[in-house]
Chains A and B, each alone.
Chain A
């Protein structure tokens, strides 16, 4: 039951983070303003800060779950949205949507385009590597090429340069309730489904022979898991952009905290992902950079450590 208590503590920590972030900002409005009668402070909290924090939490949870799903299904501790082409494909999809539809593209079609891109990006890697030892290396190349393609699109709309670099990096600036609307059902679905699939994930993470031995149909289950990961990733990417390495970082932290059983590790990865994005956004606001810059720098460190430990093949 220790894992359960730790999960609760983690959830409490995330709540505290969120509450603190809602209360901090340049105007001095706090969470208490919700119950006060200062209309201005109420607007700041309710219309500016609250949706931003909630979008960050949901996106972080999505990315954390996606990372845990990918790491189990591909059996590689380095698998994460940005290393499998799913994340960069989703960014490409979202950028295509905003180039075609202009800056004012609606969040829902954006999420759809991101999903298509994410599935295609993951599909390319699947064709190139399958479940093999060098999936991480090939995935890095696929990702780099997808990012390059995204940048080529910039030439079609040079005025989107700032927006596109925010997509590629991940930023919570200007997120509203409109962005939260398509995101929270995805986050909820991903967390609940992945937690329920915990037993399947445990088996997939070992090896195919073991899976056959316990009577699991490997191919359909693995495909379903990968699709769910692509869905979670693209939901998060459509709302906030790539937010690099959250999907890599969160499952590793989660396994450290609650152990390797996915029944606990998946919700823990969701919580650590949410906390990571929220904290990165808070730090980013202090130093005036997008949240994705903070997670990319931290996550690169984690990637180096994991790559060293596993020799790149884990």
Chain B
């Protein structure tokens, strides 16, 4: 745990100070602006995104008892990004955008998956149906990208993978609102998920209705994902490996998972920002590659 805290401090300092220009102690006015107006909000959004996605992944995986139940494979992420993308492409400005379309899209994608899953047997079917819904949403987003003019295509591409470019303090206002809503919801739903993890029969005998808990989990996960997708796009696969890493270091609790998710995204964004300067990689690309590595490791252990 001490190691984790040290890593977190190092990541925060690194994200604030490293890059072009390297700032050791804030000196000139320009450097002040770079650190506090450009890097700090970006760091904060990255940390919130990682924490939200990690928690969403944990909730979904535990409630469906499936290590592959992640926002990407349940239509939640792609529903959110498709909704935001279509709004951007068609120029419709909903009040509270981009949080509201992302929330609606995430809930719609997840609900569509749950509806389609109704009565289907086996975890494999659930995931495949989720993947089908996900790819339908992705097709909508891609179609929106293909028909818009090139000026907005850059904006839309971030909703395909996720990127923290261009975060300002204003971006963070709806994120803050979303997090304020999400935290009590997570606290409420978490103990029930812990019971559900033991099995449907155990949950029934403890007085829970598994179907209802799953629906609640889906709602909370949609909120968590929407908070991230609105400003940054679905930072890919963080919800897959943050719970894995937490389990690996022996602390599969929500707090550790959120911390690890935040750490992963912050470090990945630091690399994305500085590795090929001045070209900036999308942070979602790096997390996707990290997911491959984690997936292969898990595969070898299994």
Which A residues fall within an 8 A CB radius of B? 78, 82, 128, 133-134, 136-137, 140-141, 144-145, 148-149, 151-152, 154-156, 158-159, 161-162, 165-166, 168-169, 171, 244-245, 288-290, 292-293, 296-297, 299-301, 303-304, 307-308, 310-313
Contacts and interface: CB of A to CB of B under 8 A. Distances in A.
A162 B132 CA distance: 23
B124 A161 contact: no
Interface of B: 68, 72-73, 116, 119-129, 131-133, 135-136, 138-140, 142-143, 145-147, 150, 153-154, 156-157, 160-161, 236-237, 279-282, 284-285, 288-289, 291-292, 295, 299
Given A151-B282, A155-B281, A162-B153, A308 B288 contact: no
Given A140-B127, A244-B135, A293-B139, A169 B122 contact: no
The secondary-structure label for the interface of chain A is: helix
Contacts of B150: 159, 161-162
A298 to B, nearest CB: 9
Contact of B157 (A145, A161, A313): A161
Which of A136, A154, A300 is the most central at the interface, judged by chain B CB atoms within 10 Å of its CB? Answer: A300
A311 B153 CA distance: 38
Contacts, number: 147
Which of A133, A154, A161, A310 is the most central at the interface, judged by chain B CB atoms within 10 Å of its CB? Answer: A161
10 contacts: A137-B128, A144-B72, A151-B285, A161-B156, A288-B147, A293-B140, A297-B139, A301-B132, A307-B120, A308-B120
Contact of A296 (B121, B139, B279): B139
Nearest to B286: A152
A312 B124 contact: yes
Contacts of A244: 135, 139
A152 B281 contact: yes
Contact of A140 (B73, B123, B281): B73
A141 B240 CA distance: 11
Contacts of B125: 307-308, 310-312
B231 to A, nearest CB: 18
The 4 A-B pairs at the shortest CB distance, nearest first, are namely A312-B124, A296-B139, A152-B285, A148-B288
